[in-house]
């Protein structure tokens, strides 16, 4: 074996291809064939693409399918703390030694092909999933869709979540071009579930050209809040072209919009059932009952970190991976839906250099009283604090309704957390956002703080 430790494998993979993001399917397709693997699993595959909401939808699919008794394999990115989080079997990250063995097989198969870090991991996940013989596989696209490594596999149902402006250097500067790239995961004649209420024409045209049923939220399905005062709070109804469901529980993720994500996930499973690919039990009636029970259990047991997650109580601290304008707009709505703050709302923000910093800050700044900009200098593509502050000051000082009381700078996210905690009162609240790296560093800081307090 080339390496015995996962950390060594990952460090080496980062050097194998000189380009961090190198879109295209030629390299990975060749290695897939050389590894003796095919583009179709022996079980149904759901592929999920979109700008925001992919992680939530994957977690919901995984939780509901597992609650229905299915063995589920899932592949997502990026991770928060450990690489193993990307490749899961029944929601459990794979062990280091299993990953190392998969990397060794891919290394042997690739010969002299210069795979990227993401391509190597994607092939390892596919290799492992073939060996696990699951009953459902869920793959999350890394970037775009058409040329993303995940797209070497042929989906039985494709999901497109929201389509917004992000990754413009690779996907284009408007929703039409971005929609075209994301629609590239669609397969001829296979169902497409679209969680965007106003999808670009490029998506509609792509699906039509491939003679696919495009099932669209707001038209073919939707999450409807139940107004019956006798019903418990949070219950909603799914109106679906595949069949309505009453009294669906609220997902265990913060935000009203998560009901729409849940509706998208449920409809994708319904589409698999309609195609005869997801047989939960022998007869139709018990299958329906089993599916309904799985919804309740699954939606109540979603484990997904970093999505408007509260990690401290005094003061209240929330973390969110929002890193583009659409996600920031949703974050602003979530802050606004909180009980009225008795004091100030602080923001700790750190971002990557290829993100629309101005667009993100504009969409959230009216909910923030005090700011702390932090650097991500130790991360590839990370913004240093001076550059971020230069971009951010104009927005938060000149373009927001609330004139900020304070604007602080910190070299790292951990230092920003420490600085804000030293100035915030117990009745303040702190919102930490901007990237997965920002959230991971903040969660590690507060975890250490709690551990130290108990020593």
Whether residues 284 and 356 fall in one domain: no
Whether residues 189 and 77 fall in one domain: yes
Give the total number of structural domains in the chain.
2
Alpha carbons 107 and 101: distance in angstroms, whole number: 10
CATH number at residue 81: 3.40.1190.10
Alpha carbons 432 and 416: distance in angstroms, whole number: 10
Whether residues 338 and 231 fall in one domain: no
Domain carrying residue 321: 309-454
How many other C-beta atoms are found inside a 10 Å radius of the C-beta of residue 116?
Answer: 23
pLDDT one-digit tens code per residue, 239-259: 999 999 988 999 999 889 999
Q: Which of 299, 330, 365 is the last residue of a domain?
A: 299
Q: What is the dihedral of CA 75, 77, 81, 82, to 10 degrees?
A: 40
Whether residues 186 and 248 fall in one domain: yes
Alpha carbons 174 and 188: distance in angstroms, whole number: 25
pLDDT one-digit tens code per residue, 85-118: 999 999 999 999 999 999 999 999 999 999 999 9
Q: Which helix (H) or strand (E) holds 440?
A: helix 436-454
Whether residues 139 and 223 fall in one domain: yes
Helix (H, G, I), strand (E, B) or coil at 86: helix
Alpha carbons 350 and 375: distance in angstroms, whole number: 6
Helices (H), 238-314: 258-274, 284-299
304 lies in a domain?
no
Q: Which of 299, 325, 349 is the last residue of a domain?
A: 299
Whether residues 281 and 316 fall in one domain: no
pLDDT at 412 over 60: yes
Whether residues 134 and 45 fall in one domain: yes
What token pair was written down for 305? 């970190």
1 lies in a domain?
no
Strand ranges for 43-199 from DSSP E: 45-49, 72-75, 87-89, 92-93, 136-140, 157-160, 192-194
Whether residues 60 and 169 fall in one domain: yes
Whether residues 292 and 355 fall in one domain: no
Helices 6-16/117-132 angle, 10° precision: 130
What token pair was written down for 272? 């698999």
CATH number at residue 376: 3.90.190.20
Whether residues 355 and 445 fall in one domain: yes
Which pLDDT score is estimated for 229?
A: 55
Output the pTM of the full model: 0.94
Whether residues 155 and 181 fall in one domain: yes
């Amino acid at each position: 074996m080339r390496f015995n430790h996962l950390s060594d494998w990952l460090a080496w993979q980062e050097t194998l291809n000189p380009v961090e993001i190198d879109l295209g399917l030629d390299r990975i397709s060749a290695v897939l064939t050389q590894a003796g693997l095919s583009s179709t699993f022996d079980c149904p595959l759901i592929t999920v693409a979109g700008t925001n909401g992919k992680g939530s939808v994957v977690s919901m699919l995984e939780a509901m399918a597992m609650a229905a008794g299915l063995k589920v394999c899932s592949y997502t990115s990026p991770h928060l703390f450990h690489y193993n989080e990307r490749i899961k079997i029944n929601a459990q990250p794979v062990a280091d030694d299993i990953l190392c063995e998969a990397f060794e097989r891919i290394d042997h198969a690739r010969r002299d092909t210069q795979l990227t870090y993401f391509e190597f991991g994607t092939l390892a996940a596919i290799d492992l999933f073939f060996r696990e013989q699951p009953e459902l596989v869920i793959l999350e696209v890394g970037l775009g869709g058409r040329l993303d490594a995940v797209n070497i596999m042929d989906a039985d149902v494709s999901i497109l979540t929201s389509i917004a402006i992000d990754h413009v250097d690779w996907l284009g500067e408007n929703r039409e071009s971005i929609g075209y790239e994301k629609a590239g995961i669609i397969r001829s004649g296979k169902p497409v579930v679209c969680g965007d209420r106003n999808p670009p024409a490029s998506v509609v045209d792509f699906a039509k050209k491939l003679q696919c049923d495009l099932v669209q939220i707001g038209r073919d399905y939707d999450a409807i809040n139940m107004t019956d005062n006798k019903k418990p709070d949070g219950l909603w109804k799914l109106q679906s072209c595949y069949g309505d469901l009453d009294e669906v529980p609220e997902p265990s993720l913060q935000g009203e919009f998560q009901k729409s994500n849940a509706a998208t996930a449920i409809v994708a499973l319904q589409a698999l059932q309609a195609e005869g690919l997801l047989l939960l039990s022998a007869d139709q009636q018990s299958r329906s009952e089993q599916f309904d029970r799985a919804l309740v259990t699954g939606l109540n047991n979603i484990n997904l970190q970093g999505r408007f997650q509260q990690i401290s109580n005094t003061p209240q601290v929330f973390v969110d991976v929002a890193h583009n304008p659409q996600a920031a707009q949703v974050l602003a709505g979530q802050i606004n839906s909180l009980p009225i703050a008795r004091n100030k709302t602080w923001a700790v923000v750190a971002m990557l250099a290829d993100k629309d910093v101005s667009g993100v800050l504009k969409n959230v700044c009216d909910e923030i009283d005090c700011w702390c900009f932090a650097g991500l200098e130790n991360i590839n593509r990370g913004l240093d604090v001076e550059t971020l502050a230069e971009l951010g000051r104009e927005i938060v000082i000149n373009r927001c309704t609330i004139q900020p009381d304070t604007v602080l700078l910190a070299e790292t996210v951990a230092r920003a957390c420490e600085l804000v905690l030293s100035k915030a009162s117990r009745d303040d609240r702190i919102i930490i956002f901007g990237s997965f790296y920002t959230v991971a560093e903040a969660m590690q800081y507060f975890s250490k703080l709690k551990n130290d307090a108990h020593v």
